[in-house]
Copies of this chain bind each other. A is one copy, B any other.
Amino acid sequence: MKKSSGFRSHSADASPRLVKPRKTPVQARSAETVRAIREATIQVLLETGAQRLTTTRVSQRAGVSVGTLYQYFPNKNALLYAVLNEHFSRIIDALEQACAASHGCSVEQMARTMTLAFIDAKLHDAQAILVDVRKRGTAAIIKMLRSAPGARFPDVETTVMVLYTALAATMRVVLESGASKAMVAATRRELVLLAEGQLTRASLAQRG
């Protein structure tokens, strides 16, 4: 048998099929291996940054060979996805709680609570905005908005998509620019205004 294709994977997307583990561990030994690989990925990510993250480095740090890594993750992207998804999931927990806590409040109060929760969740290591995380986050906000008394959002999906993107992207830009505390505080104030402004407008606007 010959190697069919040593082609470098040029696809950057993390479509579901490419992102699932290649196989699930059935023995205790391999479960530990997978854990070690995930752990090593986080370490390498934090120590050297995403740019320097290589499969060789990760597997070395995990104490296994590259081949083993590829037994559980079909490619480097899947590995990154798995780890980051878990990380962001924990951040979104805070947003979900804030949304739940603001059920039935005024739109202004909702805007405030949600925005601050989002910011305080500290999107530090922000990488690609992951689809699943995004879904959870927007779902929580939509559910909250539907509970606002006396307010209707004619196109709540778009409203929340835009709002979520604005919050996430702005925090990403600010944090990546190595912002000072004062700059973060200013951004914080401004994002609350943005959220309040958009939500009050969107809840009143008449649309065709």
Enumerate chain A interface residues (CB-CB to B < 8 A).
10-12, 51-52, 129, 155, 158-159, 161-163, 165-166, 168-170, 173-174, 183, 186-187, 189-191, 193-194, 196-202, 205, 207
Chain B residue numbers with a CB within 8 Å of A191 are 162
Shortest CB-to-CB span from A118 to chain B, Å, is 13
CA distance A11 to B10 in the complex (A): 20
Q: Which of B162, B169, B183, B197 contacts A201 (CB 8 A)?
A: B197
Whether the Cβ atoms of A169 and B158 lie closer than 8 Å is: no
Chain B residue numbers with a CB within 8 Å of A158 are 183, 186-187, 189-190
Chain B residue numbers with a CB within 8 Å of A189 are 155, 158, 205, 207
CA distance A200 to B166 in the complex (A): 17
- For A173, give the chain B residue with the smallest CB separation: B165
Q: Secondary structure at chain A's binding surface: helix, strand, loop or mixed?
A: helix
Whether the Cβ atoms of B12 and A162 lie closer than 8 Å is: no
Chain B residue numbers with a CB within 8 Å of A200 are 197
Most chain B beta carbons < 10 A, residue from A51, A155, A190, A196: A190
Most chain B beta carbons < 10 A, residue from A168, A189, A193, A202: A193
Q: Which 9 A-B pairs have the closest CB atoms?
A: A197-B197, A169-B169, A166-B166, A194-B198, A193-B201, A158-B186, A197-B201, A197-B198, A162-B190
- For A183, give the chain B residue with the smallest CB separation: B158
Sample of 6 more A-B contacts, CB < 8 Å, known A155-B186, A165-B170, A189-B207: A11-B51, A158-B183, A158-B190, A194-B194, A194-B197, A196-B197
